[in-house]
């Protein structure tokens, strides 16, 4: 059996929220041993839930992305069940340890000594207060790779500014660049596109640093300032500003590249929509034919791309009046058959039932001690000889403490029992945490 | 200057448009020798702009210039025998091939995964496509909008009575390109250390369905509870939350639900916020309380600029930010001083400030060694390296065939 690409790499995971855990999950999926350190006495908001023990009423009042716990119940160990976070713990191990205490620091020293990478995305001062610096890590393991993912950088006036992905979106100008053209940006839904990029590029950075270490024997400190990392996704408006000093306005669902018509149009049923893009004259006439309006293609107003851009509002009304009568998937098929880029706007249920994702085996099903057997969304990509799979179900807090303390680090049964009795090694968050 | 971490990596880049070129840009900017093979008509990205003064010019597309730094550009007609021979020789020198043809095209050209193994045993192949190399949508056409509609969590973006609205145009393609770059380096590990060349199938739709920007979470929530995430303004996560207008722009914050005490500190701890009604478990879901708070808070933000709001929020550890415009982010003195922007000189397109390094590796730095290649700029140089004589090259690459 061929080995996964990153088999043999060990990563100490000090990540929180989404951007960090997404990176270490990609590395775990690729075969690295990712060991997540969790402090049962400290609640990291946005990491295993908004609260450790959310009342059911709180879940019921929240949006499904936050409140959609298994069967709507917080359960005995709610921190192992939040839909917002738990799937990011697939292919990871979890160990309970309190890094604020001397023995916890000693634990980390022993773990770092046998690891390749330490990965964290806290506010910079957080780890420094704990004494976890690159200098300290390097004194333990000279070739360690230390990846830090601050919001705005390890240096500079915004050093300790706090941000979630959505705030990175704000600073990088993404929020002003998206949304309905006729509404205020305050109508924009919070999104986290920058977390995606920070995670994907964070995993890339780890692999690049490992390759450098293979060649030279050197480790290093890698800094991923999220606000700078996220600029890549805004290359089009940023380059327009760089070249023309033009500030791009929002285009809603229209094309920034000047293709028309493009939009999201209503379909038959409740809250059903289809996205349609015509990037050429041929695709435009394919749309006209499919919607039974060959005469639109002959209308001089719509004969050129420039004309279609100019009359986009009129086109939107004409198209929407027709799409309303069609089922979104059936219309997609007919448009595709006519060579028109189109696709249904899939909600979470549609995605889970999607025949294409099903046919490709995108979902996997695993049993989980605190959740039961469920289906989960799969992987960013697939590999031919070492298919990515769920080798470890989304990890429960402290699930691998015995393995890490005793097997990896050689703690004696006696030492382990003492820490258990002191409430330090546990699978439960302290009752005092919020 | 130290070489980049990928300095010993040679990549044949058969990608075009946006997602693929962003993947290979990451490889090139961190040191890889990326040979970009363009068709005789050029990478269509050359037609996308933005152009100086909106005058189309294939050497001046801002997107092309950004996405193709550090690559060497070769023009080959892969339908011709000479073009195929040139590609065979290039592949024989490479560690990795990255392609973004429509599924099936690479096989038809004679360079499918098995064929590549015959040319260079152990070589990796990354295939980037809209929907993957198999499945019922394999041959569907797509744009960033339709891909995000299907793969991403667009359904719950926007307001209830209106159509769902996408994220920033083209963002979805850059994200997928970054995911593909992970696949690319994973294949380098497989080839070098696990003794096996692999084929990575990167489907942009799946790169979003598995992605961390709400989509995977919403699928999990549905799988857990049968509930489908829906559109509400501001994402509904308590108050204050979302974007508020302020003196000169907008101030965005979250955190009411999670860290109410920080919000109270930010606004100067007024007496009316001491009432216990603000901290009951359901307070954050109470529209009347939200209205009462907002009536106060609108006054607070309107007395301040976005940067002042930001500073006050950060002093109280509130998760918050201004909503910058493109001009604001270019002008921000802190990012500028940190070196977020990179001046790049191009002989035809001129000198501009591009978005700079995505991350900082002091021992093996990101570096712009050359600007995006002009059309066919390195054809003679690169083909010369694989043994073509000057007279053999001339006929293959005449710009007149463009």
Per-residue pLDDT of A260-292, as tens digits, reads: 999 999 999 999 999 999 999 999 999 999 999
Half-sphere exposure of B374 (CA within 13 A, CB side): 10
| Mean pLDDT lowest among A64-73, B253-262, B352-361 | B253-262
Do the chains contact at B165 and A253, CB–CB below 8 Å? Answer: yes
Do the chains contact at B137 and A356, CB–CB below 8 Å? Answer: yes
Q: Does A166 touch chain B (CB under 8 A)?
A: yes
Q: Which residues of B touch A269 (CB under 8 A)?
A: none
Residue A167 placed within a domain: yes
| Mean pLDDT lowest among A221-235, B21-35, B263-277 | B263-277
Residue B219 placed within a domain: no
**According to the model, what pLDDT value does residue B25 have?**
98
Do the chains contact at A352 and B222, CB–CB below 8 Å? Answer: yes
Contact A410, A403 (CB under 8 A): no
Residue B2 placed within a domain: no
**Same-domain status, A92 and A205:** yes
Residue B221 placed within a domain: no
Instruction: Choose among A126, A236, A180: nearest CA to B162.
Output: A180
**Same-domain status, B306 and B380:** no
Q: Which of A347, A382, A413 is the last residue of a domain?
A: A347
Residue B331 placed within a domain: no
Nearest-CA distance A243 → chain B (Å): 6
Q: At what angle do helices B144-151 and B171-193 cross, to 10 degrees?
A: 70
Q: Which residues of B touch A263 (CB under 8 A)?
A: 163
Residue count of chain A: 434
Residue B4 placed within a domain: no
- A10 — phi, psi (to 5°)? -115, 130
Q: Which residues of A touch B213 (CB under 8 A)?
A: 165, 191-193, 195-196
**Same-domain status, A139 and A185:** yes
Of A85, A171, A340, which is closest to B141 when you measure between CB atoms?
A340
How much is the average pLDDT of B205-218? 97
**Same-domain status, A194 and A330:** no
Q: Which two tokens stand for residue A411?
A: 């703690």
Task: Spell out the residues 6+ positions from residue B204 whose beta carbon is closer than 8 angstroms to its own.
Answer: B19, B128, B129, B130, B131, B142, B147, B151, B172, B173, B176
Average pLDDT, chain A: 96
**According to the model, what pLDDT value does residue A236 have?**
98
ipTM of predicted complex: 0.98
**Same-domain status, A95 and A219:** yes
Minimal-distance CA residue of chain B relative to A25? B212
**According to the model, what pLDDT value does residue B400 have?**
43
Q: Which of A307, A325, A347 is the last residue of a domain?
A: A347
pTM listed for this prediction = 0.97
Residue B303 placed within a domain: yes
**Same-domain status, B240 and B269:** yes
Do the chains contact at A352 and B223, CB–CB below 8 Å? Answer: yes
Alpha-carbon distance of B150 to B162, in angstroms, equals 18
**Same-domain status, A192 and A287:** no
Per-residue pLDDT at A392 exceeds 70: yes
**Same-domain status, A313 and A376:** no
Q: Which two tokens stand for residue B389?
A: 């004589």
Per-residue pLDDT at B396 exceeds 70: no
Do the chains contact at A242 and B330, CB–CB below 8 Å? Answer: yes
How much is the average pLDDT of B223-247? 85
Residue A161 placed within a domain: yes
pLDDT digits (tens, 9 = 90+) for B280-339: 888 888 889 999 999 999 999 999 999 999 999 999 999 999 999 999 999 999 999 999
Residue A426 placed within a domain: no
CATH number for the domain that contains residue A293: 3.30.1540.10
CATH number for the domain that contains residue B146: 3.40.50.10540
With pLDDT > 90 as the criterion, what percentage of chain A qualifies?
95
**Same-domain status, A267 and A131:** no
Task: Spell out the residues 6+ positions from residue B304 whose beta carbon is closer than 8 angstroms to its own.
Answer: B246, B247, B251, B312
Give residue B108's domain range: 10-213+337-401
Do the chains contact at B212 and A277, CB–CB below 8 Å? Answer: no
CATH number for the domain that contains residue B262: 3.30.1540.10
Do the chains contact at B183 and A380, CB–CB below 8 Å? Answer: yes
**Same-domain status, A411 and A329:** no
Q: Which of B291, B323, B355 is the last residue of a domain?
A: B323
Diameter of chain B measured on Cα atoms: 86
Nearest-CA distance A407 → chain B (Å): 25
How much is the average pLDDT of A78-87? 96
**Same-domain status, A270 and A405:** no
**According to the model, what pLDDT value does residue B402 have?**
38
Nearest-CA distance B216 → chain A (Å): 6
Q: Which of A347, A377, A394 is the last residue of a domain?
A: A347
**Same-domain status, B115 and B238:** no
Give residue A340's domain range: 262-347
**Same-domain status, B263 and B345:** no
Task: Spell out the residues 6+ positions from residue B144 whose beta carbon is closer than 8 angstroms to its own.
Answer: B18, B166, B169, B170, B171, B172, B173
Q: Which of B323, B358, B378 is the last residue of a domain?
A: B323
pLDDT digits (tens, 9 = 90+) for A343-388: 999 999 999 999 999 999 999 999 999 999 999 999 999 999 999 9
Q: Does A324 touch chain B (CB under 8 A)?
A: no
**Same-domain status, B344 and B259:** no
pLDDT digits (tens, 9 = 90+) for A94-124: 999 999 999 999 999 999 999 999 999 999 9
Residue A74 placed within a domain: no
How much is the average pLDDT of A423-430? 97
Count of domains forming chain A: 2
Residue A309 placed within a domain: yes
DSSP B258: T
Strand order from edge to edge, sheet including A382-383:
A382-383, B199-203, B124-129, B96-99, B10-14, B33-38, B71-75
**According to the model, what pLDDT value does residue B401 have?**
42
Residue A353: alpha-carbon gap to chain centroid? 21
**Same-domain status, B244 and B354:** no
**Same-domain status, B97 and B202:** yes
**Same-domain status, B362 and B285:** no
Nearest-CA distance B343 → chain A (Å): 10
Q: Does A204 touch chain B (CB under 8 A)?
A: yes
Count of domains forming chain B: 2
Q: Which of B271, B289, B323 is the last residue of a domain?
A: B323
In chain A, residues 9-68 whose CB comes closer than 8 Å to chain B: 18-19, 22, 26, 30, 45-46, 50, 55, 57-58, 61-68
**Residue among B44, B176, B191, B223 with most chain A CBs within 10 A, to mutate:** B223
**According to the model, what pLDDT value does residue A45 have?**
82
**Same-domain status, A290 and A328:** yes
- B350 — phi, psi (to 5°)? 90, -170
Per-residue pLDDT at A406 exceeds 90: yes
**Same-domain status, B288 and B386:** no
**Same-domain status, B16 and B128:** yes
Q: Does A393 touch chain B (CB under 8 A)?
A: no
Contact A251, A236 (CB under 8 A): no
CATH number for the domain that contains residue A177: 3.40.50.10540
Model confidence at B1, pLDDT cuts 50, 70, 90, reads: low
**Same-domain status, B289 and B166:** no
Per-residue pLDDT at B399 exceeds 60: no
**Same-domain status, A124 and A209:** yes
| B1 vs B351, more confident | B351
Per-residue pLDDT at A404 exceeds 50: yes
**Same-domain status, A184 and A272:** no
Do the chains contact at B53 and A244, CB–CB below 8 Å? Answer: yes
Residue A62 placed within a domain: no
Residue B222 placed within a domain: no
**Same-domain status, B166 and B30:** yes
B377: preceding bond cis by omega (within 30 degrees): no
Provide the β-strand partners of residue A94: A36
Alpha-carbon distance of B267 to A192, in angstroms, equals 26
């Amino acid at each position: 059996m061929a080995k996964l690409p990153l088999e043999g790499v060990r990563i100490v995971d000090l990540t929180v929220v989404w951007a960090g855990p997404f990176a270490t999950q990609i590395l775990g999926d690729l075969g690295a041993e990712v060991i997540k350190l969790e402090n049962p006495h400290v609640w990291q908001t946005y990491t295993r839930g908004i609260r450790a023990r959310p009342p059911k009423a709180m879940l019921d009042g929240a949006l499904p992305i936050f409140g959609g716990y298994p069967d709507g119940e917080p359960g005995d160990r709610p921190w192992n069940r939040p839909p917002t976070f738990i799937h990011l713990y697939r292919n990871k191990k979890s160990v309970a340890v309190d890094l604020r205490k001397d023995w916890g620091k000693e634990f980390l020293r022993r773990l770092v000594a046998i690891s390749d990478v330490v990965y964290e995305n806290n506010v910079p001062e957080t780890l420094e207060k704990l004494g976890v610096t690159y200098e300290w890590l390097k004194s333990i393991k000279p070739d360690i790779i230390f990846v830090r993912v601050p919001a705005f950088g390890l240096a500079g006036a915004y050093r300790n500014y706090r941000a979630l992905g959505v705030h990175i979106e704000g600073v990088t100008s993404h929020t002003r660049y998206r949304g309905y053209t006729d509404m205020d940006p305050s109508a924009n839904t919070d999104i986290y596109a920058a977390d995606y990029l920070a995670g994907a590029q964070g995993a890339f950075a780890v692999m690049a640093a490992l390759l450098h270490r293979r060649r030279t024997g050197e480790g290093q400190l890698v800094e991923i300032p999220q606000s700078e990392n996220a600029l890549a996704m805004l290359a089009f408006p940023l380059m327009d500003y760089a070249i023309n000093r033009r500030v791009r306005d929002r285009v809603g669902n229209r094309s920034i590249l000047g293709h028309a018509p493009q939009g999201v149009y209503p379909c038959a049923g409740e809250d059903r929509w289809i996205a349609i893009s015509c990037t050429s004259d041929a695709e435009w006439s394919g749309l006209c034919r499919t919607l039974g309006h060959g005469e639109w293609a002959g209308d001089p107003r719509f004969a050129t791309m420039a004309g279609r851009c100019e009359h986009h509002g009129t086109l939107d009304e004409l198209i929407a009046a027709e799409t309303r009568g069609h089922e979104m998937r059936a219309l997609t098929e007919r448009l595709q058959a006519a060579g028109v880029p189109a696709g249904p706007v899939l909600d979470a249920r549609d995605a889970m039932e999607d025949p294409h994702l099903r046919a490709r085996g995108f979902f996997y099903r695993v049993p989980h001690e605190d959740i039961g057997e469920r289906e989960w969304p799969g992987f960013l990509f697939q590999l031919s000889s070492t298919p990515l799979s769920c080798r470890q179900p989304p990890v429960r807090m402290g699930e691998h403490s015995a393995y890490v303390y005793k097997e990896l680090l050689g703690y004696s049964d006696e030492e382990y029992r003492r820490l258990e009795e002191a409430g330090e090694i546990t699978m439960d968050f302290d009752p005092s945490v919020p | 200057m130290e070489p980049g971490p990928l300095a010993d990596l040679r990549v044949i880049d058969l990608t075009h448009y946006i997602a693929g070129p962003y993947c290979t840009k990451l490889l090139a900017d961190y040191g890889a020798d990326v040979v970009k093979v363009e068709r005789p008509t050029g990478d269509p990205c050359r037609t996308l702009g933005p152009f100086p003064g909106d005058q189309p010019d294939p050497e001046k597309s801002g997107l092309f210039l950004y996405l193709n730094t550090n690559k060497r550009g070769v023009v080959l007609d892969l339908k011709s025998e000479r073009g195929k021979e040139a590609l065979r020789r290039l592949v024989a020198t490479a560690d990795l091939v990255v392609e973004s043809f429509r599924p099936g095209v690479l096989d038809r050209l004679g360079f499918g995964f098995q064929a590549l193994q015959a040319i260079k045993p152990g070589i990796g192949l990354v295939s980037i496509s809209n929907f993957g190399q198999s499945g019922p949508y394999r041959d569907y056409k797509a744009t960033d909008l339709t891909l995000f509609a299907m793969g991403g969590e667009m359904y719950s973006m926007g307001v209830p009575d209106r159509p769902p609205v996408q994220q920033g145009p083209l963002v979805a393609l850059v994200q997928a390109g970054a995911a593909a770059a992970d696949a690319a380096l994973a294949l380098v590990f497989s080839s070098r250390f696990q003794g096996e060349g692999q084929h990575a199938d990167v489907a942009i739709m799946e790169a979003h369905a598995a992605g961390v920007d709400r989509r995977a979470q919403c699928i999990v929530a549905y799988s857990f509870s049968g509930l489908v995430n829906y559109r509400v303004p501001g994402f509904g996560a308590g108050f204050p939350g979302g974007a508020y207008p302020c003196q000169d722009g907008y101030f965005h914050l979250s955190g009411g639900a999670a860290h109410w005490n920080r919000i109270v500190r930010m606004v100067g701890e007024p007496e009316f916020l001491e009432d216990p009604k603000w901290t009951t478990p359901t307070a954050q879901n109470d529209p009347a309380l939200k209205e009462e708070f907002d009536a106060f808070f609108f006054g607070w933000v309107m007395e301040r600029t976005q940067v002042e709001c930001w500073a006050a929020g950060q002093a109280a550890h509130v998760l918050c930010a201004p909503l910058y415009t493109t001009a604001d982010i270019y002008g921000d003195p802190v990012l500028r001083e940190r070196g977020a922007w990179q001046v790049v000189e191009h002989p035809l397109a001129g000198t501009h400030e591009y978005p700079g390094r995505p991350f900082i590796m002091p021992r093996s730095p990101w570096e712009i060694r050359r600007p995006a290649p002009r059309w066919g700029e390195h054809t003679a140089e690169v083909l010369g390296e694989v043994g073509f004589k000057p007279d053999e090259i001339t006929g293959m690459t005449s710009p007149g065939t463009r």
